Structure 1
Amino acid sequence: MNPTLSPIAPLRDRIKAAPPYWANDTIEAWDELAFQSMQEFVARAYWSDQASINVHRVVGTRHPDYGGRTWLNLLNEGKRMRLRLREHADNRSYYLDTARKKPTMDYVTFDGLDYYIGSEGNHRTCIARFDFHFHRLSTLHGVTVTHYDIDQELYRRYLALKALCRERRLPYRFAGQQRPLRREDTAGWKLDRFEVSLAVENNRTGERQQLDRGGAGRLLDELRGKSHRRWWRCWP
């Protein structure tokens, strides 16, 4: 940090004098196709509008205009950045307050470690990252978080089965299936639990079956061998 600058110097001046090491890191673009592919494999979905996150763990955005830019580029060229910087200068406490953020600041995560900006909050997230860097802070409060817990093992087997059948031109079709189990909730949060399985259909015979994680693994082993036809004949 440049010792000649006051801690209350305008944020842009401080960034220009001593840009953070991550200022030119690229903001990851949200992969909507991958998300759609994973949605049916969500075993738990948690939502809260009173959450707290480490703002330095925001790695990407769902906004098509900002994915692929750097944090510094967003700060300098974001569509509403001039307005948001003026608001920050007038009311920095907004970023420190623990109350729900209004307008909403919305994030999505799959692992509770890496976050993507959702429907709102691109400019404010960028400002918070730079501001908190200079003030040695990390936690942004009062935000909305959706955490999707994917059955990763079943999803990996689904992808492997699709790839294998595409490669060998096998006549099977696969899709994830969710069955709601229960919901837990009180004011400001909810947790939905699902039973996740893999639906398999033989396009030639019309035979169908639902498989759990173990069944998907056994099918994958069977199809990798030479005797994959026996697997279908063993169905009742």
Structure 2
Amino acid sequence: MNWRDYWNQDTPIYTSERHKLLHYRLIASDIIGLIPSPEAVMLDYGCGEALFADKIAAKCGRLYLSDAAPLVRERLNERFKGNERIVILSTDDVTDIADASLDLIVVNSLVQYLSLDEFRALLRLMHEKLKANGKLVLGDIIPPDISPLTDAKALLSFAWQGGFLRSAVTGLARTAFSEYRKIREEVGLAQYSDEEIVDLLNDAGFEPERAERNLGHNQARMTFVGRPAQAREMEDLTER
């Protein structure tokens, strides 16, 4: 089994329904804070179940939700049918979005499941789809020195604050014997240093910057913002 197959099913990643609810609510709140204007067109690439996507869509002009898993897309279509601001796409269908048409692209908690070649190809595609003054946000990047224990501590802290500590403890024990652990051992999770992400974004034509905080609850992980390099060059010329 690979990561794409793994996510095309119900998984034990969320230790309870409350955990899932609070996770997606926090991510939605973080994304809303990134939207540049009420007319913005944005893409959430690898969006997962996106339980609060309607709240995000209410703050922008159009929201594309894209996920590779057919089961996830089926649930998204059912949940948000009738919402004219939300468009559900497969990851392959993202190529059909008009070039230079997106104001904001969010790729959260996905990079760790991609090979280096897949990541490079994704960055090139995102560069094509962004407007010259748009932003690409890469969230939940795992640094090389982080351990599963650090992730567990971050989850338990989130659980304590969110009132699902008991289920979190049980869920961590369950995950230790789950398919997720087996795939993580066999396939691995991609990890990148600050310098590696900066180099990859530069190579794809972005001007990179590390955000002050990561999207979501785990602040041991990293978020980076990439802007098309020509936009920064134009700003520099304007300032002169």
- Structure number with higher helix proportion: 2
Common fold: TM-score over 0.5: no
TM-score class, shorter-chain normalisation, is under 0.3
- Structure number with higher strand proportion: 1
Higher-Rg structure is 1
TM-score, normalised via structure 2 length:
0.26
